């Protein structure tokens, strides 16, 4: 059984298109077998994205970790006129994200392969992630805690976790070294914003 976070070059490609609307902006994304939430935009991703957009950080440098086909990073880039890099360990996800980037001429940034921050250089104002819970808590904490090595001093980490996937225990772990605010919650999903203390 193949999970969305594995690289499986033998998995048949069956491209499909997902639609998304934010205010008056319409988006279309190519999706495929072997990527997270391939048939339908994930509710947690949508809640994270729209909560972030409500805070209206415009023209900043953003990193989307575990970008999948590119929903979060591409919408942020287009709507907030920000520079956005996107990383994922899944080759097919990065391929799709780059395919989707090309649809938006105004988008500034790139998608590239990286296991967490392995191939990430430079500093960002914002790191945003719907983390790969199924890979395990250690990798999730590597992504969340590691974000602060790639954020400016005033930078913020935004992330979503479901209550039944350990949202509150992960918040507590991060709170030992960071300020973590719950900025939205709905249908069991918690949206957190973390900053350096
Ligand atoms: C919950 S999905 C979110 C995908 C996408 N951001 C979305 O909202 O649709 C988590 C993503 O993390 C990726 N991932 C898993 N392990 C990773 C790792 N070690 N480093 C970077 N990304 C990873 C998965 O391939 C998957 O695309």
- Which tokens is 155 given? 């930078």
Q: How far apart (Å, rounded) are the C-alpha atoms in residues 55 and 117? A: 25
Distance 23 CA to ligand 1 centre (A): 26
pLDDT at 98 over 70: yes
Q: Yes or no: say if 190 and 170 are a contact pair by the CB < 8 Å rule.
A: no
Give mean pLDDT, residues 96-102: 98
144 CB within 6 A, ligand 1: no
Share of the chain above pLDDT 70, in %: 96
Does the C-beta of 5 come closer than 6 Å to ligand 1?
yes
Is residue 6 predicted with pLDDT exceeding 70?
no
Q: Which pLDDT score, from 0 to 100, does residue 1 have?
A: 42
**pLDDT for position 11:** 87
Question: Ligand 1 centre and the CA of 110: distance in Å?
Answer: 16
Per-residue pLDDT band at 4 (split at 50, 70, 90)? low
Instruction: Give the Cα separation of 124 and 109 in Å (integer).
Output: 12
Can you point out the beta strands (E) in 23-72? 25-31, 61-65
135 lines ligand 1 (CB under 6 A): yes
Structure tokens at 146: 């590691």
Q: What pLDDT band is residue 106 in, cutting at 50, 70 and 90?
A: very high
How far apart (Å, rounded) are the C-alpha atoms in residues 144 and 79?
A: 25
């Amino acid at each position: 059984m193949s999970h969305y976070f594995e690289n499986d070059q033998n998995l048949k490609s069956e491209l499909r298109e997902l639609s998304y609307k934010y205010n008056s902006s319409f988006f279309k994304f190519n999706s495929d077998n072997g990527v997270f939430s391939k048939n339908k935009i994930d509710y947690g991703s949508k809640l994270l994205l729209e909560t972030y957009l409500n805070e209206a950080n415009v023209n900043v440098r953003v990193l989307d970790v575990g970008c999948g086909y590119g929903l979060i990073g591409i919408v942020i880039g287009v709507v907030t006129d920000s520079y956005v890099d996107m990383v994922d360990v899944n080759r097919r996800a990065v391929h799709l994200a780059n395919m989707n980037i090309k649809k938006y001429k105004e988008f500034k940034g790139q998608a590239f392969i990286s296991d967490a921050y392995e191939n990430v250089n430079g500093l960002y104002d914002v790191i945003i992630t719907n983390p790969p819970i199924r890979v395990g808590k250690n990798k999730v904490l590597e992504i969340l805690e590691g974000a602060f090595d790639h954020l400016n001093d005033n930078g913020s980490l935004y992330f979503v976790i479901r209550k039944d996937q350990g949202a509150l225990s992960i918040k507590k772990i991060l709170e030992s070294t960071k300020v973590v605010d719950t900025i939205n919650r709905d249908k069991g999903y918690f949206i957190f914003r973390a900053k350096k203390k």
